[in-house]
Amino acid sequence: MYRHLIAAGVIAALAAPLFSHACSLCNGAMNKQTWRQEAVQAKLIVYGTLANPRLGDADGGGAGTDLQIEHVIKAHPFLAGRRVITLPRWLPVDPKSPPKFLVFCDVFNDRLDPYLGSPVKSPAAVEYLKAAMALETADRQKQLAFFARYIDHADADVAADAFLEFAKSNDADVARVAKTLDPARLRRVLSDQQTPPERLSLFAYLLGACGGPADADFFAKLLRQPDERIQAAFGGVLAGYIMLRPDDGWKLAYSILGDTARKYQERAVVVSTLRFFHSTRPDSRREVLNGMSLVLPQGDMADMAIEDLRRWQWWDLTAEVLAQFSKKSHASPLVRRSIVRYALVCPQQQAKQFVARLRQTDPAIVKDVEESLQFEAPVAPSK
């Protein structure tokens, strides 16, 4: 049976699992596959022009829109010389400027299932996809270097897909390729008001990794007077600034984290920057720990720092973590449970003593957290 197509101009994508290790500075659509990923699964991929939309009967039966094939990107015997396929849904078509589509298809029992379509503005999307499909899958750094050349592409759909490749990459892969990129291209996309705000955080970090002193001045200005677009990308801009001017950058990060008068989101975004440096810069352990130590006394977000430290198996701040348990500001079940979870995993003697005392005073919370830990996958120690 054909999957439903979205009539608003885009064929519905197959549901895809979330990436568990996506870039922590990116705000991309993590439940969406990139074109390259979809191409691996698809049995047939074609590019063409929509034509002849039909509404069908009152129940939608007989509705359809033709796709006049101009390029076959991934062939399948089903086509057998066909130059037109039918998408089983009415889609809007302007006869004066009919839309171009990339269509990803399955073939089952000799029936075509066009399950994903993407409107594109130019045939450049075809060449981009072909080149992406030909990339060596084992070398993620080379892949990302390729996609970086398309982040400012004139075809917005190509640029969006190139960004999504970064968004679905882990922090370490992003950091490895960052210093090799073209700073001029990154300056352009950061200065372009048409660049979607959710991409600015990544682009700012990338520029920080490959840019120069003038870029540090640019970041400093943005961080002093962030507009709405930059505020949404603050974590990446701060990361870029730290890369270029570490002393000033970390000082600014600490001033924000330690200022409880600031909104939760303003402080939380700096935590995302700490996480990024944990993933990408082992030599920043001291700076990341300093930042986490500022978060621990704050009852509204202490659980974030405690859970990160536990997952990383960084036990340097054990005394500070355990000291939060008796505070009224940290009395919420979420925070208290995070402290108990940390203590149960921590190998230090003071944590074992804390748990032993708690078994006497509040055995229920210990038992409850112990049971929840059984469902967690083991975590490899962070180096």
Instruction: Please report how many Cα atoms fall inside a 13 Å half-sphere around the Cα of residue 121, on the Cβ side.
Output: 8
* Ramachandran class of 250: left when φ > 0, alpha when ψ lies in -120 to 50, beta otherwise: alpha
Question: Is the pLDDT at 1 greater than 80, yes or no?
Answer: no
Confidence at residue 122, expressed as pLDDT on a 0 to 100 scale: 85
Q: Which two tokens stand for residue 108?
A: 């089952």
pLDDT in tens, 117-150: 988 888 899 999 999 999 988 899 999 999 999 9
Q: Give Cα 27 distance to the centre of its chain.
A: 5
> What percent of the chain has a predicted confidence (pLDDT) above 90?
74
Q: Output phi, psi for 47, to 5 deg.
A: -130, 140
Lowest mean pLDDT among 76-90, 178-192, 238-252, 369-383: 369-383
Give 301's pLDDT tier (boundaries 50, 70, 90).
very high
Instruction: Kindly report the number of other CB atoms within 10 A of residue 49's CB atom.
Output: 14
pLDDT tens digits along 198-248: 999 999 999 999 999 999 999 999 898 888 888 889 999 999 999 999 999
Burial category of 266 from C-beta neighbours within 10 Å (exposed 0-12, middle 13-18, buried 19 and up): middle
25 in Cβ contact with 276 (< 8 Å): yes
pLDDT tens digits, one per residue of 326-337: 999 999 999 999
The token pair that represents 200 in the structure block = 């600015």
Closest CA to 167 of 207, 125, 202: 202
Q: Domain 1-135's class?
A: mainly beta
What's residue 379's pLDDT? 58
The pLDDT of residue 17: 31
Q: What angle do CA 13, 19, 22 make, to 5 degrees?
A: 120
What is the DSSP pairing of strand 111-120 with strand 100-108? antiparallel
| Sheet arrangement for strand 44-54 | 84-87, 64-74, 44-54, 100-108, 111-120
- Per the CB < 8 A criterion, the answer to whether 71 and 46 are in contact is yes
Half-sphere exposure of 219 (CA within 13 A, CB side): 33
